[in-house]
Structure 1
Amino acid sequence: MAQNTLSRTTSDSMRETILATAVGGMAIALSTVLSMIKLFVMPQGGSVTPASMLPILFVALAFGPAWGIGVGAVYGLLQFVVEPYAAHWASIILDYPLAFGLLGLAGFFARPRAERIAERQILHRLSAIKWPMIITAVIVGMLGRTASHLISGVVFYASYAQEAGQNPWIYSLVYNLSYMIPEALITLLILVPLSLAFRKKQ
């Protein structure tokens, strides 16, 4: 009995790993394509897109924070390859793998691991999360990304603030929020209704 339980647990864990890897790969590809569609572009980097962060946030909510952070970090590295922009080598870390990896913090609002593994339909994993929690998860993930960009802006782009006669922290915060807030709103306007729609179909 114990051996059968262990075997089933191992099998479920392997299935979850394969599923998360496959979905994570598709999320990276979709996010990359969406990131190329610019609704608005900032002069020193950053842009508003048609919810390019949504696939990464979905992975975090469907598979948990570890997968969300990992997939986000890989996506961030790919973003640098596709659209490189950096003032210093350290800013590459802050603005790409770390910033996008922190989107995975949304995964801390996912359902418990045992419940996630038991639910094989990944879209149902999203619908199992109440919409206020989804909103909170997106905000936390976006704040994580914003914090990394904020530090990068203060450390490596302070000259722009000095030219404008502003405090570097305030300048960097306003600059980054000017595109992160619209990005978060677009993401929520898609993700929350999507979750509610799949909940009704269950």
Structure 2
Amino acid sequence: MRLSHGCLLLGLAGLALGACAPGVPANWARGGATLDVPRARWIVGNASVEVFPDGRILINDEHELTVDRGGRVYDPSHEAVGLLEPDGRLVGPGDKPLGNVGVLHASRAEEANAWISVLPTGEVVRYGDNSERLTLGVWIGCNQSYASHQTCTLISHLLAPKIISAQQSMRYLPGYGMYPGGYMPGMGLPYR
């Protein structure tokens, strides 16, 4: 009898902990903004972000996220990352605000100004603390429609912090090693 009470208490504790975890955004089942998912590539530093029409997003050939035509973004284990609402608000699990994403610009939660833009040319620009413009690579394949461009802006908004952090800490992203002087194979060193 004692064992069954222990199992019951353990089961109740597990349910209580699970109930505290934030769930998917409120409109997850319905979906949010209508997006086009293009075949696109973002080249930034030593990283390559690939987007496939089935929604898979890879950083240097490793599956990072998936986006669907209903504005839902989730990780490889199918856990919700965020939902882009039709009005441009990006909400995470438990309806946590993650910012605003338009066709060209994205702002962080609780900020009025854009922190990152994907220009019509595909150039990704992030804005520093003093409003200086800093280049953060270029997208190829995003200019098929407004909805596909917004998809690339959404992906940039979500992945740029990880990419910037990896560059600033001199860590490398999956698939690339560190080489002397920052050079990597294929960089085109002059032949003498």
Q: TM-score of the superposition, structure 2-length normalised?
A: 0.29
Q: Which has the higher contact order (CA 8 A, sep 6+)?
A: 1
Larger Rg computed on CA atoms: 2
